[in-house]
Every structure is written in C-alpha cells, then in structure tokens.
Structure 1
Amino acid sequence: MVARVVTQRFEIDMHSEFLRADLFLAMGRPTEAVRILERLVEAEPANEAALEMLARSYFGSAQLAKSEDALTRLVELAPANGWARRALARTLERQSRGSEAVSHHRMADALGAK
C-alpha cells in the first residue's frame, strides 16, 4: 500500500513539474524549463510530450545541438510527427546545415505540418 502511494505521488509530481516547465517556457524562460525537463525525460525517456517541450526549450535557449538530439529522438519515437520534422529542419538550418534540413522539410510537408 505504501509503495502505491509513493508511486502516485511521484506521478503527480512529474505532472506538476511538466506544467511548471510549460509555464517557464511560456514566460520566455527556456533555460529554467530545460532544468526541469531534463529530469523528466531522464525519468521517462519515451514521453513524447516532455521530449517535445525539452526540444523547444533547447531551441529557445539557443542550445541547438541539444535541440537537434532531442528532436532526432522524437522523430525516432514518432516518425509521423510533422511538427518534430519541421522543428528538426529549422534547427539544422540555424546551424547552417540546410542541405540536411531538406529531407525533413519534405517529410513535414508530406505530413501536412505548418
């Protein structure tokens, strides 16, 4: 019984932390969001929502290599995620790697991503 309570408390804390990171990102403080989201993604590596917000936070704080890594992982988890494809293409372009971005732009277009 005690383990279950602890597990439920942990899940609530994870959700609260996700919401707190979302608030930091919305307030234009992506570095603070990164600190929270790195722990969340470490705890739940397949959590697509947390990984997406982490990638956005890295991008927003100009940590482009880390944004690229997070987006690459997201594309591997969800190949049909047009938003992730477009964001990865833009991250590559900001690193002056436009030729690598082309295939991701094409895939995003095919998936109907804006």
Structure 2
Amino acid sequence: MTDFTPFEDLLRGHAGLLEDTAHDRWVRAQSLFAEKAYREAAVLLAELLEDSTDVGHELTDARLLLARSLYHSAQLNGAIRVATELLEHDPNEPYAHLLVGRSLQRQGKPDEAQPHMRLAELLGGYTA
C-alpha cells in the first residue's frame, strides 16, 4: 500500500495531477509537434500508442500525428509503416495516402508513390 498525504490523495482525484494520463501525453505530443520537435513528438506518440488499450478508429488521430512526426523527422520507413497500418483500418484516409506517397517520393520511388498521391488527391484534395 502506498502512503499518500491527505493532500496527495486529494490531488490524485483531480485532473490527474500526480499521474501522467494518456490525455496529458496526447496534449504534450501535439504541443511538441507544433513546436517542430518532431522526433520528440514521435517518441511520445509511439509510447502512447504502445500503452493504449484502445483499438481501431479511436486512435486514428494519434497514429496520423505519429506518421506526420516520423515524416517530418526524416524517419521515412517509420512514416510509411505507421501510415500503412492506419490505412489497414481506414483505407479512405487521404492524409495517410499523402504521407505514404510523399515518403516514397523522398526515397526516390516515384512509381510506388504515384497511386498513393492519386488517392490522396481524389479522397481529400491533397495535391503533390
């Protein structure tokens, strides 16, 4: 049994002040991404997704931000892997197609990128 002071017990019940909740980590990851700390955001998002018990569409936003963070930090294989996993759950996610396509382009694979770029444009209006 952990011994907490009455004040610590009170804090534990309010807004996760003594705990690092999934929401806290999500907000921090968004902030890191906004500050262009892409590598740090990717690490935090990967941990968040690994620790998550949610499945399917609930984590689409976190997966998409992870893929974006990996892309912007030039971890292109990781960006492709995460975006492809996202597409397995939602094949009509235009930004995931865009990330796969642009990552493949940056790797010098324009022929492989082309179908993803077309789908990104058709599904979401994203152009190369």
The two structures share one fold, judged by TM-score above 0.5: yes
- Computing the radius of gyration from Cα coordinates, the structure with the larger value is 2
Which deviations, in whole Å up to 9, do the C-alpha atoms of 1:43-95 show, x marking residues without a partner? Answer: 23631111111111111111111111011111111111111111210011011
Q: 1:75, 1:81 within 8 Å by CA — same for their partners in 2?
A: yes
User: Structure 1 residue runs of 4+, over 6 Å off?
Assistant: none
| AA at the equivalent of 2:27 | L
Count residues with an aligned counterpart.
Answer: 108
Task: Among all aligned residue pairs of Structure 1 and Structure 2, give the percentage whose two residues are the same amino acid.
Answer: 32
In 2, Cα distance between equivalents of 1:95 and 1:103: 15
In 2, Cα distance between equivalents of 1:78 and 1:27: 28
| AA at the equivalent of 1:49 | D
In 2, Cα distance between equivalents of 1:102 and 1:27: 31
In 1, Cα distance between equivalents of 2:65 and 2:124: 21
**TM-score, structure 2 as length reference:** 0.76
- The aligned residue for residue 20 of structure 1 is 28
RMSD between aligned alpha carbons?
A: 2.2
| AA at the equivalent of 1:16 | D
1:67 corresponds to which of 51, 54, 79: 79
| AA at the equivalent of 1:29 | A
In 1, Cα distance between equivalents of 2:63 and 2:119: 20
Q: Matched residue of 1:62: which SS?
A: coil
Question: Deviation at 1:36?
Answer: 0.7
Q: Matched residue of 2:21: which SS?
A: helix
Matched, 1:93 2:105: yes
| AA at the equivalent of 2:99 | A
In 2, Cα distance between equivalents of 1:67 and 1:107: 17
Structure 1 gap ranges (5+): none
Q: 2:80, 2:103 within 8 Å by CA — same for their partners in 1?
A: yes
